[in-house]
Amino acid sequence: MLGPENGVLSVRTGRTGAAAKAGHDLLIHVTAWHATLEVGEDPAQTSIVLDADATSLRVREGTGGMQALGDDDRASIQETIDDEILKREAIAFRSTAVEADGSRLRVQGELTLAGRTGPIAFDLEVDDQGTLRGSAVVKQTDWGITPYSALFGALKVADEVEVAIDAGLSAQSR
């Protein structure tokens, strides 16, 4: 079992539009999540399950922008994510196929986000120390999410966001 005590599940956003310089690229941590990686004798028997609380996303860093990101900005972003973007809906991933290639796992599965479920694929690396790292690009509009925009659309969050995991498998979870 993996969770925030073992590592970080994060989301990175970018910005687009004529007023992109005014906004921030965000690093957001998911603070309530758990995942299981069950490794079978045959990679085809390996499965990955992840569940995350959509209301647990917290802005950790904002880079760029015309001014530094303040606490009020962080609270406003969190409220927007909860109420307008993810709408407090469950986030879940269930693998449908896992292929091993050395220390790399090629993972295919179903992601449920904002009330919609769709296919997604990504790679995970597992090193000799049991550290699991990987990322996936999620295109918000594929899940019916309208990327946040401000200033009459002149500043927008990029449609594609990067979701990454960097976690250490404990001896009991391996």
Residues 6+ away with beta carbon under 8 Å from 42:
none
Q: Is the pLDDT of residue 103 over 60?
A: yes
Q: Give the model's confidence band at 173: pLDDT under 50 very low, under 70 low, under 90 confident, else very high.
A: very low
Q: Is the pLDDT of residue 72 over 90?
A: yes
Q: Give the model's confidence band at 152: pLDDT under 50 very low, under 70 low, under 90 confident, else very high.
A: confident
Q: Please report the pLDDT score of residue 170 as a whole number.
A: 59
pLDDT digits (tens, 9 = 90+) for 14-33: 999 888 888 899 999 999 99
Higher pLDDT, 169 or 45: 45
Q: Give the model's confidence band at 174: pLDDT under 50 very low, under 70 low, under 90 confident, else very high.
A: very low
Strand 131-139 and strand 160-168: the pairing is: antiparallel
Contact predicate 91/51, CB 8 Å: yes
Distances (CA, A) of 105 to 47, 78, 100, 126, 129: 11, 32, 5, 8, 16
Q: Please report the pLDDT score of residue 172 as a whole number.
A: 44
Residue-averaged pLDDT of the chain: 90
Kindly state the average pLDDT of the residues 100-115.
Answer: 92
DSSP letter for 98, please.
E
Q: Is the pLDDT of residue 102 over 90?
A: no
Strand 7-12 and strand 25-30: the pairing is: antiparallel
Domains of the chain in start order, with CATH, are: 7-173 (2.40.128.110)
Distances (CA, A) of 83 to 43, 51, 145, 151, 164: 39, 19, 12, 19, 23
Q: Please report the pLDDT score of residue 23 as a whole number.
A: 86
